[in-house]
Structure formats: structure tokens, C-alpha cells
């Protein structure tokens, strides 16, 4: 019998992690778009400070969620560093594809 309480807890934490990572992604996209502001960079720094706590919580997830959460947080770490460095650092793969797609759109 699956532990439904645990499953609900996993879903909630997994979503929290995904949303966190989505915020990092949007900030990094703003850097690629050239629209990032100082407020965005400040937000990236604040999010980066939350990362260790979220990463620690993610280790409590069941196996079904853990690998995905670990990758999502690692991507967020790279994207937040990318924002802090104003795009002058390697990014997550998802930002790599975003840069490529933008190149196609502009080159087309």
C-alpha cells in the first residue's frame, strides 16, 4: 500500500522546487534577452541563498522524485550563477537550447 501522505508531501516539495527552478530560468532568459535589470540580479542572489536549504529538503523526497529534483536544482544553480555573471558563464542546458532557439529566430 503506497504511503499517500508521503506522496502528497513529495508532490508539494517537488512543485516548490520546480517553481524555484522556473524563477531561476526566467531570470536567466532575461539575461539572454538583454532585459535583465539590477533588481533581477539581486533576485538571483537571493534565490541562490535559498538553494542549499531547498537542496537539503530535496534529499527527503522519495526516489521517484529525487533524481528529477536534483537535476532541477542543479540547473537552477547554474542559471542563477549565469545571471550573477551577466551571462558570462556556462549555463544550464535548458538555457543553452534557449540561446540556440533565439539564434534560429533571429537568423531565419
Partner 1 sequence: MESSRTTRAAEPADEKRRSGRSVAPEAAASLEGALAAAPAPVARRGAAQPLTQRRAIALQGAVGNRAAAREIGRMVQRHAEGAELPDKGEQVAELQEKEQANPEAELQGPPQEGEAPEAEAQEPEQEAPQTEPQPAQQAAPEATRTKTEEKAQVGEAKTSGKAFQKQQKLTPGAMSLATAQKILQGAFGGLTDIVPGTIVILADQPACSAKYDEVCIADGITRPDGSAWQAGDCAKDDAAAGVQTEGFAWKGVVYVNGQTTLVTATAHEILHNNAHGGFRGLAGETFNEGTTELLARRALKAAGVKVPSVTAYPDQVKFTEQLEKVVGEKALKEAYFTNPWALAVKFEELKGTGAWDALKLLAEALDEAKFKKALAAKKAK
Per CB under 8 A, residues contacting partner 1 are: 11, 14-15, 18-19, 22-23, 25-27, 29-30, 33-35, 39, 43, 46, 48, 51-52, 55-56, 63-68, 70-74, 77-78, 81, 84-85, 88-108
Q: Is 86 left (phi over 0), alpha (psi -120 to 50) or beta?
A: left
Based on CB atoms, which residue is closest to partner 1, 6 or 102?
Answer: 102
b/e sequence 55-81, b meaning 16+ C-beta within 10 Å: beebeebeeebeeebeebbebbbbbbb
Least distance to partner 1, CB of residue 36, Å: 11
Residue 37 DSSP symbol = -
Quote the CA–CA distance of 85 and 77 in Å, as a whole number.
12
Least distance to partner 1, CB of residue 60, Å: 12
Based on CB atoms, which residue is closest to partner 1, 5 or 34?
Answer: 34
Least distance to partner 1, CB of residue 85, Å: 7
Q: Which three cell numbers stand for residue 84?
A: 550573477
Least distance to partner 1, CB of residue 91, Å: 5
Amino acid at each position: 500500500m503506497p504511503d499517500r501522505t508521503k506522496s502528497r508531501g513529495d508532490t508539494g516539495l517537488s512543485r516548490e522546487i520546480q517553481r524555484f527552478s522556473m524563477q531561476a530560468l526566467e531570470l536567466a532568459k532575461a539575461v539572454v534577452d538583454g532585459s535583465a535589470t539590477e533588481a533581477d540580479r539581486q533576485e538571483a542572489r537571493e534565490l541562490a541563498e535559498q538553494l542549499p536549504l531547498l537542496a537539503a529538503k530535496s534529499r527527503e523526497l522519495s526516489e521517484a522524485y529525487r533524481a528529477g529534483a536534483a537535476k532541477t536544482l542543479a540547473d537552477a544553480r547554474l542559471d542563477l550563477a549565469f545571471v550573477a555573471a551577466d551571462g558570462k558563464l556556462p549555463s544550464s542546458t535548458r538555457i543553452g537550447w534557449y540561446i540556440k532557439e533565439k539564434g534560429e529566430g533571429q537568423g531565419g
